[in-house]
Structure 1
């Protein structure tokens, strides 16, 4: 594989984990999967976003940092590494969910924590239309995801596309899958 570190991105249900598994298997690379189930605030966030936005984003920030730090300590570039998320995911979600003052604090913490971690050489964004996103969320069957507001998903999609245009340390490939 041409790239030593590839990250998949996309909305909820885009197929990031499935594609990451297949790429890692095909290229006999290391697979890094987001540990979202370990975030105790996620179900509460979907039930009451205003109350739990900062908690859920801070928890994800810490989880992703620890996971990627462990990965880099294992020599991230010794082989191909494929992850089902990128470092910038935290910024994308925080920009959508947090008020400006909390986002400013979050950005400071993000900058401190992620400053020494390598960026993916390639970020692959799996782009879906909203009807397909909603169908996939329904099919996954996670109770706390079933009532996600489509406006929230649309704002995430817009923020992702904006974020990807501003990446300077990674090449970007947008794949339209429906």
Structure 2
């Protein structure tokens, strides 16, 4: 039994967020919220020219994430009282801080603060930590063409952005899972190991677990 009503799974590109959230939703009859990144026309362009497309990309992602979470979290489901998402809205701020110029980020942050206060925080935020080489391996395996040229440096920057954010959230329950030695997608025992950890009750703060 998982003692939380709303869990958000986070991690850098290729960490396994969607795979884990989807499996948990199936096993625990949870309402599943998946990020609609494939509908964002700026994403392939961003990987070709980050300086030109970073601002419209981050603004469009923030708008779509806000609208989706507002709609999904505000709709009561008679048959499901457990919600799991493969992202937390703060990822908009984390990515923007690493991709935007200072003046662009200042404008972006003003909009973000307005929407952030109107959305509930997850009861538990789970961060999946993987080394960059493993992230790149997962990116290659899933084969999205526009992701194949992502640089290690970019993944490192995003990961450091998450760590910076996590350190500044004393009023959230955050589970930082080092999954470098797990394969929760293909190995059921590894998946159950993750479930056992998520099923514990935690006080506010960051809880680091290495397997």
Specify the TM-score bucket, using the shorter chain as the normaliser: over 0.9
- Residue deviations 1:88-109, cap 9 Å, x none? 1101100000011111111110
Where does the alignment leave 5 or more consecutive residues of structure 2 unmatched? Answer: 181-211
What does residue 87 of structure 1 align with? 89
Where does the alignment leave 5 or more consecutive residues of structure 1 unmatched? Answer: none
Q: Structure 2 matches for 1:114-129, cutoff 5 A? A: 114-129=116-131
Q: Secondary structure at the match of 1:3?
A: coil
CA distance in 2, matches of 1:83, 1:2: 16
Relative contact order higher in (CA < 8 Å, ≥ 6 apart): 1
Aligned-residue offset at 1:169: 4.1
Aligned-residue offset at 1:168: 3.8
2:5 aligned with 1:7, yes or no?
no
What does residue 109 of structure 2 align with? 107
User: What is the count of residue pairs matched by the alignment?
Assistant: 178
What value does the CA root-mean-square deviation take over the aligned residues? 1.4
Q: Secondary structure at the match of 1:2?
A: coil
What does residue 50 of structure 1 align with? 51
Q: Secondary structure at the match of 2:66?
A: helix
Higher helix fraction (1 or 2):
1
CA distance in 2, matches of 1:25, 1:48: 38
Aligned-residue offset at 1:22: 1.4
Q: Secondary structure at the match of 2:96?
A: helix
Equivalent in 161, 164, 178 of residue 163 of structure 2: 161
CA distance in 2, matches of 1:112, 1:159: 21
Q: Which runs of 4+ in 1 moved over 2 A?
A: none
Which is higher, the Rg of structure 1 or of structure 2? 2
CA distance in 2, matches of 1:96, 1:46: 14
Q: Structure 2 matches for 1:139-154, cutoff 5 A? A: 139-154=141-156
CA distance in 2, matches of 1:75, 1:135: 38
CA distance in 1, matches of 2:167, 2:137: 27
TM-score, structure 2 normalization = 0.81
